Amino acid sequence: MYDRDRLIQLVKDHALKFGDFTLASGKQAKFYLDCRKLTLDGESANVIAAGMLDVIGDDLPDAVGGMAIGADPITAAVITVAWQQQKNIKGFIVRKQAKEHGMQQMVEGPVEPGQRVVMVEDVITTGGSSLRAIEHARNFGLKVDRLITIVNRGPESEKIFADVDVKFSALLNLEDLGIES
């Protein structure tokens, strides 16, 4: 079962840091969300996975995945918890750049063109890395129709992803953490 209140507490206790930070988008911020502190912790990963599966509901995709390396532990948690719930969902990884050896693919894992997938992410601010991951997944032939993030810190996220025909969901928003955007 998804425990949203527990996730809020875990984020506040372990992932939320205050100070002066430069985000991946280049923007300056007075707080930083280091969700790797959550996604690489057993309890937190289980709470996150339960939340994402709750958002997915009964309309199961063929697979979940996202941009390496941030989405990798989320993907692993979701497919593991799904399996424990007798739900068959595979995982995949979108590389930041293709390998120069082997099959030189941008998308790795037991997925095939034509399959419907859900992208996962830890934190969304401007959506840049998620948009690149969606593009690579679609170029591979995957049908991306949804993106779920742990925390949405971007005020325009729904519009950004609607513009590329992807439904956007967040387990938490800044307001849930007591932060004004």
pLDDT score for 23: 83
To the question of whether residue 124 is assigned a binding role by annotation, the answer is: yes
CA distance linking residue 68 with residue 173, whole number of Å: 23
Largest Cα–Cα distance in the chain? 47
Architecture of domain 4-177: 3-Layer(aba) Sandwich (3.40)
In the chain, what percentage of residues exceed pLDDT 70?
Answer: 96
Which residue carries 């690579």 as its tokens?
A: 136
pLDDT score for 167: 97
To the question of whether residue 26 is assigned a binding role by annotation, the answer is: no
Which among 123, 126, 139, 142 is positioned nearest to 15, based on CA atoms?
A: 123
To the question of whether residue 126 is assigned a binding role by annotation, the answer is: yes
Give 21-59 pLDDT, tens digit per residue. Answer: 998 778 888 999 999 999 999 999 999 999 999 999 999
Q: Which of 57-71, 99-113, 165-179 has the lowest mean pLDDT?
A: 99-113
To the question of whether residue 127 is assigned a binding role by annotation, the answer is: yes
To the question of whether residue 122 is assigned a binding role by annotation, the answer is: yes
pLDDT score for 104: 66
To the question of whether residue 125 is assigned a binding role by annotation, the answer is: yes
Tell me whether residue 58 is exposed, middle or buried, using C-beta atoms within 10 angstroms of its C-beta: 0 to 12, 13 to 18, 19 or more.
exposed
Q: Where are the domains of the chain?
A: 4-177
Number of H helices, E strands in the chain: 6, 8
C-alpha dihedral sign at 60, 48, 71, 109: negative
Which residue carries 């079962």 as its tokens?
A: 1
To the question of whether residue 96 is assigned a binding role by annotation, the answer is: yes
